[in-house]
Chain A
Amino acid sequence: MTTPTPHSASPTPHSRWRVSRRGFLIGAGVAGVGLALGVPLSLPYARLKIAEMLTSGDGRPGSFTTDPFAWFEITPDNRVRLFLTKVEMGQGVHTALAQIAAEDLGIAFGDLEVVQASTSQGPADGNGTTGSTSVATVYQPLREAAAMLQLMLRTEAGRVLEQPANNLKIENRAFVAGDQRVTFGQLVTNRQQWQIPKQRPTLKPISDFTVIGQPVKRVDIPPKVNGAAVYGYDVKLPGMLYGAVARPPTIAAQMIAAYPGTAPTMPGVKQVVLDKNFAGVVATSRAAAHAAVAALEMLWADGKPWQQAELEEIVTVGDFTTEEGGGITIQREGDAPSHLDKQPAVTAEYRSPFAVQASLEPQAALADVQADRVRVWVSTQLQGYVRSLVAETLGVAAELVEIIPTYVGGGFGRKSGFEVAVEAARLSQAAGVPVHVGWTRTEEMRYGYFRPPTHHQLAATLDQQGRIVALEHRQASGDVAFGFLPGFLSAIMGADFGAYRGGTIHYAGIPNRHTIVWRRELPVRTGWWRGLGLLANTFALESFMDELAHTAGADPLQFRLDHLSDDAAGQRMRAVLEAAAAKAGWSTPAPAGHARGIACCTDGGTVVAQVAEISLDKASNRIRVHQVTAAMDCGLTVNPNGAAAQIEGNIMWGVGSTLIEEMRIKDGQVDITNFDSYPLLTLRDAPHVETILLTSGADKPLGVGEPPIGPVAAAIGNAFFALTGKRVRQLPMTPDRVSAALA
């Protein structure tokens, strides 16, 4: 990737996109020469339901525009550049999109340069890089744009070479016929005006693919092994200074007043900025800035000293039989409640805690605020939203603000980047020089937004043959998406789609299925976290499926298969369950002292099944996860190596969340400050992972970045039950909770 950096020439914004027939956008290259062809994302998106749009967005439907989300530039020196608004945070999106583009443009993968677009070069991508939607939504329009560009160039090459266009071969970014040759660069040099042809370009049949589906090496990896990759924390400008900002002492604190104290005279301090609800310092080093912030005299109203137990009480399911109960039914197949009223039900309750995204790169931005131009380099998944917030805060027109997304050192829903970008912009505006703000680990741990706690009540009835007649899932959760949406949208939607992600019962073989959710507003900010509600909901549902299998006296794999339908969705789920089970040796005994558990989920069309093999250290009551075998069908796989990497990473996230990760509130404050109080999974405790990628002959890619997190906790919990006959129904499954379950 090429990130526009302060060292490169300032980009000239595109100002001359014009909409052509068929919805393509055509314009001059970024440098004002050559040919640029872009494609808007608005049409495919318009077909999606509003909830799905918002899952993948910044909560601002109005920001969906006809601006291109990706575009090609052919330059006179024969470079083919693919500009992308999607940011690279390790998910391999730049590589996958380049594979798609190269395929239908008809050039070798290595002949394409990938460039991260700033908001001034192209549109501010209102959709952001979120929700495992990039490849799935961009796939078709990007293919069409690439094929259209090839058609335009080919037609022109045929005219120039006086050859039938269809006979020309493409080699090294040139059209070739015998010993005649014209490069892409020569074509765009010689012809200034381009029209979108009426002819519809032909897309390559899948059977002819040579780039899509190949495990090509990621374009972002070489600069990540030699220190060259530039992230938000790494950006430098001449004359830049460092900023730090005062933080509230409790989650409910309100700033009453701020006084400079001794800060202005401390070494290295250049500027003290005190404003309504904002106090910050600009200094010559980060250490000096933080020391000066600590010397500010701050007056806070601390607010209520919330305790963890009070928050857990809030996050409890209510009574759905009354209006006041407030639950919202999001799934009703058949009539589960009446069945559950008639006969004794199997019931269980599950809970999951607050968790932190804990990207290893904390929030970071460099802002350069000048009178006529604002530039912000920032690690962000939401550059469009960042631009609007920075413009609003500074009181300038959005067009003057350029957000330049850098490589992102871990996203996971938390690299919204808006807080730190605004902080850097405010301080730069006050100081009159570029200011970098990089959060400390404690700031990152305490002052973001968290995965909300959840509470689940499950109830089911079985018939004489041990088949499920009715299954009900009642779930309460703190906000996930609603914290970012305007209130009127929350009111229209009723239930938070982020919180209930993965919460509906997919087993179509169960005739009566009912899911009710409760929105629980907390005094702690909660929001996006990898997979949103998927991990917690799948933990509850798939653990309970295991409990029902045990009640029915059935094998947990067979029990699941028995409750799938025979339609396409059921068959895809059956395939991943059987593939994971076969590879994990489900039908053979586990090694002595080990046991296996199985679980599955469906998310955005992607289906995943996992088998976890665990043991228990009797002395410490620590669960050890030895192996996770995962089978996934994510439709057409663009890069199988990248898809496997996403499965592996999700499993490590899942294991960490299952065994270790928990944030608590104590005396009104987040009770963690660094990795000593919130440890992550390490290599020592990382399981071996086997991945199997299945494709049901799909012609479209689906999401990969989050679905595999779903089954992990349930698979481990189910293995723990297989090993001990006991269940731990609250995450994480710490030695204390394991001891309690075994007692």
Chain B
Amino acid sequence: MQLNINGEVRDIADQPDEKLLWVLRDELNMTGTKFGCGAGICGACTVQVDGVATRSCLLPVAAVVGKAVRTIEGLATRHADGTHTLHAVQQAFIDEQVPQCGWCMSGQIMTATAFLANNPTPSAEQIDSALGNNYCRCGCYVRIRRAVAAAARQMSIHENGQEAHV
């Protein structure tokens, strides 16, 4: 089987029922995507499939054949000279000093980036709702709110020259 992950074609073993999470983590050694509950509740395993935030712990790998999978490892923009630029959400999570233990953060960031791509000028309530199904046990919620709003502003300035109303 072949998957398209972060813009690269990857060969994987022929196990169509295996969940995408474990193919990423245990077969491809891409451990940035985390296991939290295996039941689609906590959101730690969130990746993007064709741009849609998706729980990889419940998703048979066969379901993403022919689709574009993006993980936390592929979120930054890589340049020809080997350097990279973090996504505005990643940078905002650093600027606002969001993560504590960090285990949920890939899922938070992949959820937030998919959300902001479709909702570039979100309200505070929309942020709470969009990130409202991703657990953070350390309780970084105050800063997640702040960082997603800051990233929206930053992306809006970058793309439109205007500030979002957050």
Q: Which residues of A contact B (CB under 8 A)?
A: 89-92, 217-218, 220-231, 233-234, 236, 242, 285-287, 358-362, 407-412, 438, 440-441, 641-642, 645, 648-653, 674-676, 680-684, 686, 688-689
Interface residues of B in 126-142 (CB under 8 A from A): 127-129, 131-142
**Number of chain B residues close to chain A: CB under 8 A:** 56
Closest residue of A by beta carbon distance from B76: A226
A620 to chain B, nearest CB (A): 17
The reply to whether B141 and A409 form a contact with Cβ atoms under 8 Å apart is no
**Do A652 and B34 contact each other (CB < 8 Å), given the known contacts A675-B39, A683-B128?**
no
The reply to whether B102 and A90 form a contact with Cβ atoms under 8 Å apart is yes
Interface residues of B in 63-107 (CB under 8 A from A): 71-73, 75-76, 86, 90, 93-94, 97-106
The reply to whether A648 and B103 form a contact with Cβ atoms under 8 Å apart is no
**Do A409 and B29 contact each other (CB < 8 Å), given the known contacts A675-B135, A682-B135?**
no
Residues of B within 8 A of A229 (CB): 102
The reply to whether B101 and A682 form a contact with Cβ atoms under 8 Å apart is no
The reply to whether A688 and B100 form a contact with Cβ atoms under 8 Å apart is no
Residues of B within 8 A of A649 (CB): 100, 138-140
Residues of A within 8 A of B90 (CB): 225-226
In the assembled complex, the Cα of A386 lies from the Cα of B76 at a distance in Å of: 37
B58 to chain A, nearest CB (A): 12
Tell me whether chain A's interface is mostly helix, strand or loop, or mixed: loop
Closest residue of B by beta carbon distance from A358: B137
In the assembled complex, the Cα of A409 lies from the Cα of B42 at a distance in Å of: 14
Closest residue of A by beta carbon distance from B57: A441
In the assembled complex, the Cα of A681 lies from the Cα of B42 at a distance in Å of: 11
The reply to whether B97 and A675 form a contact with Cβ atoms under 8 Å apart is no
A39 to chain B, nearest CB (A): 27
In the assembled complex, the Cα of A688 lies from the Cα of B146 at a distance in Å of: 11
A672 to chain B, nearest CB (A): 12
**Contact residue among A218, A438, A686 (Cβ-Cβ distance under 8 Å from B97):** A218
Residues of B within 8 A of A438 (CB): 35
Closest residue of B by beta carbon distance from A362: B35
Closest residue of A by beta carbon distance from B129: A684
Tell me whether chain B's interface is mostly helix, strand or loop, or mixed: loop
B36 to chain A, nearest CB (A): 5
**Contact residue among B33, B103, B143 (Cβ-Cβ distance under 8 Å from A360):** B103
**Do A285 and B31 contact each other (CB < 8 Å), given the known contacts A649-B139, A683-B131?**
no
A366 to chain B, nearest CB (A): 12
The reply to whether A225 and B93 form a contact with Cβ atoms under 8 Å apart is yes
**Contact residue among A360, A412, A676 (Cβ-Cβ distance under 8 Å from B135):** A360
In the assembled complex, the Cα of A676 lies from the Cα of B143 at a distance in Å of: 25
In the assembled complex, the Cα of A653 lies from the Cα of B136 at a distance in Å of: 10
The reply to whether A675 and B42 form a contact with Cβ atoms under 8 Å apart is yes
In the assembled complex, the Cα of A361 lies from the Cα of B44 at a distance in Å of: 9
Residues of A within 8 A of B5 (CB): none
**Contact residue among B31, B39, B97, B106 (Cβ-Cβ distance under 8 Å from A233):** B31
B109 interface hit (Cβ, 8 Å) = yes
**Contact residue among A233, A642, A684 (Cβ-Cβ distance under 8 Å from B128):** A684
The reply to whether A227 and B33 form a contact with Cβ atoms under 8 Å apart is yes
Closest residue of B by beta carbon distance from A651: B139
Residues of B within 8 A of A285 (CB): 18, 22, 26
The reply to whether B139 and A407 form a contact with Cβ atoms under 8 Å apart is no
Residues of B within 8 A of A217 (CB): 94, 97
Interface 1/0s, chain B 18-51, versus A by CB < 8 A? 1000100110011111111111011010000000
B64 to chain A, nearest CB (A): 17
For the A-B complex with A360-B136, A441-B37, A441-B39 known, give 11 more contacts whose Cβ atoms are closer than 8 Å: A92-B100, A225-B109, A228-B32, A408-B101, A642-B97, A645-B143, A674-B39, A675-B39, A686-B139, A686-B141, A689-B142
B144 interface hit (Cβ, 8 Å) = yes
**Contact residue among A230, A358, A648 (Cβ-Cβ distance under 8 Å from B140):** A648
In the assembled complex, the Cα of A426 lies from the Cα of B26 at a distance in Å of: 21
Closest residue of B by beta carbon distance from A690: B142
**Do A361 and B39 contact each other (CB < 8 Å), given the known contacts A233-B34, A683-B134?**
no
Max chain B C-beta neighbours (<10 A), residue from A231, A411, A645, A653: A645
Interface 1/0s, chain B 101-118, versus A by CB < 8 A? 111111001000000000
Max chain B C-beta neighbours (<10 A), residue from A228, A242, A649: A649
Residues of A within 8 A of B104 (CB): 360
In the assembled complex, the Cα of A684 lies from the Cα of B37 at a distance in Å of: 20
Max chain A C-beta neighbours (<10 A), residue from B36, B71, B76, B105: B36
Residues of A within 8 A of B106 (CB): 227
The reply to whether B73 and A226 form a contact with Cβ atoms under 8 Å apart is yes
In the assembled complex, the Cα of A645 lies from the Cα of B98 at a distance in Å of: 8
The reply to whether A90 and B101 form a contact with Cβ atoms under 8 Å apart is yes
**Contact residue among A90, A222, A684, A688 (Cβ-Cβ distance under 8 Å from B138):** A90
The reply to whether A676 and B41 form a contact with Cβ atoms under 8 Å apart is yes
Residues of A within 8 A of B135 (CB): 360, 675, 680, 682
**Contact residue among B22, B31, B101, B132 (Cβ-Cβ distance under 8 Å from A287):** B22
B65 to chain A, nearest CB (A): 19
In the assembled complex, the Cα of A407 lies from the Cα of B134 at a distance in Å of: 21
Residues of B within 8 A of A221 (CB): 93-94, 97-99, 102
The reply to whether A360 and B139 form a contact with Cβ atoms under 8 Å apart is no
Closest residue of B by beta carbon distance from A655: B139
Closest residue of A by beta carbon distance from B32: A227
B131 to chain A, nearest CB (A): 5
In the assembled complex, the Cα of A362 lies from the Cα of B36 at a distance in Å of: 7
The reply to whether B26 and A286 form a contact with Cβ atoms under 8 Å apart is yes
The reply to whether A675 and B41 form a contact with Cβ atoms under 8 Å apart is yes
Closest residue of B by beta carbon distance from A641: B97
17 residue pairs A–B, Cβ–Cβ below 8 Å: A89-B100, A90-B138, A91-B100, A220-B102, A221-B93, A221-B98, A221-B99, A225-B93, A227-B32, A360-B34, A360-B135, A410-B101, A411-B101, A412-B137, A674-B41, A682-B132, A683-B128
**Contact residue among A360, A641, A642 (Cβ-Cβ distance under 8 Å from B137):** A360
Residues of A within 8 A of B75 (CB): 226
**Do A361 and B144 contact each other (CB < 8 Å), given the known contacts A675-B37, A675-B42, A683-B134?**
no
Residues of A within 8 A of B37 (CB): 441, 674-675
The reply to whether B101 and A409 form a contact with Cβ atoms under 8 Å apart is yes
The reply to whether B26 and A242 form a contact with Cβ atoms under 8 Å apart is yes
Residues of A within 8 A of B44 (CB): 360
Residues of A within 8 A of B93 (CB): 221, 225
The reply to whether B143 and A89 form a contact with Cβ atoms under 8 Å apart is no
Closest residue of A by beta carbon distance from B15: A285
Residues of B within 8 A of A233 (CB): 31, 34-35
In the assembled complex, the Cα of A390 lies from the Cα of B127 at a distance in Å of: 46
In the assembled complex, the Cα of A337 lies from the Cα of B133 at a distance in Å of: 51
Residues of B within 8 A of A411 (CB): 101
**Do A409 and B34 contact each other (CB < 8 Å), given the known contacts A359-B101, A641-B97, A686-B142?**
yes
The reply to whether B30 and A360 form a contact with Cβ atoms under 8 Å apart is no
Residues of A within 8 A of B101 (CB): 89-90, 359-361, 407-411
In the assembled complex, the Cα of A689 lies from the Cα of B137 at a distance in Å of: 16
Residues of B within 8 A of A228 (CB): 32
B117 to chain A, nearest CB (A): 18
In the assembled complex, the Cα of A346 lies from the Cα of B26 at a distance in Å of: 60
In the assembled complex, the Cα of A674 lies from the Cα of B141 at a distance in Å of: 21
Residues of B within 8 A of A680 (CB): 42, 135, 137
**Contact residue among A286, A409, A675, A684 (Cβ-Cβ distance under 8 Å from B132):** A684
The reply to whether B105 and A683 form a contact with Cβ atoms under 8 Å apart is no
Closest residue of A by beta carbon distance from B135: A680
In the assembled complex, the Cα of A461 lies from the Cα of B57 at a distance in Å of: 57
**Contact residue among B26, B73, B133, B140 (Cβ-Cβ distance under 8 Å from A227):** B73
A242 to chain B, nearest CB (A): 7
In the assembled complex, the Cα of A218 lies from the Cα of B35 at a distance in Å of: 24
The reply to whether A676 and B39 form a contact with Cβ atoms under 8 Å apart is yes
Closest residue of A by beta carbon distance from B132: A684
B109 to chain A, nearest CB (A): 6
A579 to chain B, nearest CB (A): 19
